[in-house]
Amino acid sequence: MSGNYTRITRDGLWDNNIVFAQILGLCPTMAVTSSATNGLGMGLATTAVLLASNTIISSVRNLISPDVRIPVFIVLIATLVTLVDVSLNAWAHDLYKVLGLYIALIVANCAVLGRAEAFAAKVGVGEAALDGLMMGLGFTFALTLIGGIREVLGAGTLFANAHLLLGPAFAFLETTVVPDYKGFLLMILPPGGFMVLGFLLAAKRVMDQRRAARIAAAAA
């Protein structure tokens, strides 16, 4: 059983990462990753939704008729997203001004429905919750990485405005990597997102292939 949990963790964070392996949820990925902070904020909001939706759907999976499961999932997910939306608006208003437009997009993130349909509806609550958490953290990792690369190349900073997201204590994260940087506009615009994602996908493939080759060599 513990092997199963390890598998779920590995899948969520790396092997079956929402962005880098499943290539899902690209709409929010491209939209918000113009800075590392935005990516982190969107990732954490999505993680909260994924964790809650997986847990709830798994715990009521036996009550739901297979014939009407999709509308039930969608209504539950949409409700959770709306809850995140109003809570952020009320209690993290500065962050909401940055991310607000994109929070509603979490509903359209096919990864959330995908996990509900492909995983949470078939397994126990513990596994579903862990899967939601790990998929969410993998998504957060991917968004923060893409955002960080685009921000450094595009604006010369890293984690700008992090205090809006994490509180004043995290202002130390805000670094200017290249002082007096004139900016590389392409990276901030959508094409930059596609380019960075393309290079990262290629890099992940290379890493996975090398690892597979090492394992094959060790086995031989």
Partner 1 sequence: MSFAELRTKIGYQGLLLGGVALFTSAALAIASHSTETDIRAAEAADLKQSLTQVLTGEYDNDLIKDTVTLPGLDGEVKVYRARHAGKVEAVVYRVVGHGYAGAIVCVMGVSREGKVLGVRIVSHKETPGLGDKIEPAKDKWIHSFEGKWLGDPPADKWLVKKDGGVFDQFAGATITPRAVVKAVKQGMDFFAENKVSLLDEAAAQGAKP
Q: Point out which residues bind partner 1 (CB under 8 A).
A: 34, 62-68, 71-72, 75-76, 78-79, 82-83, 86-87, 89-91, 93, 97, 183, 185, 188-189
For partner 1, which is the closer residue by CB, 3 or 66? 66
Distance CA 157, CA 130 (A): 33
Q: Tell me how far, at minimum, the Cβ of 123 lies from partner 1, in Å.
A: 18
> What Cα–Cα distance (Å) separates residue 171 from each residue in 35, 137, 175?
15, 22, 9
Q: Tell me how far, at minimum, the Cβ of 220 lies from partner 1, in Å.
A: 49
In 3-state terms, what secondary structure has residue 60? coil
For partner 1, which is the closer residue by CB, 24 or 98? 98
How many beta carbons lie within 10 A of that of residue 22, not counting itself? 18
Q: Tell me how far, at minimum, the Cβ of 80 lies from partner 1, in Å.
A: 9
Residue type, 192: G
Residue type, 114: G
Q: Tell me how far, at minimum, the Cβ of 6 lies from partner 1, in Å.
A: 33
CB-count exposure of residue 72 (10 Å: 0-12, 13-18, 19+): middle
For partner 1, which is the closer residue by CB, 34 or 109? 34
For partner 1, which is the closer residue by CB, 9 or 79? 79
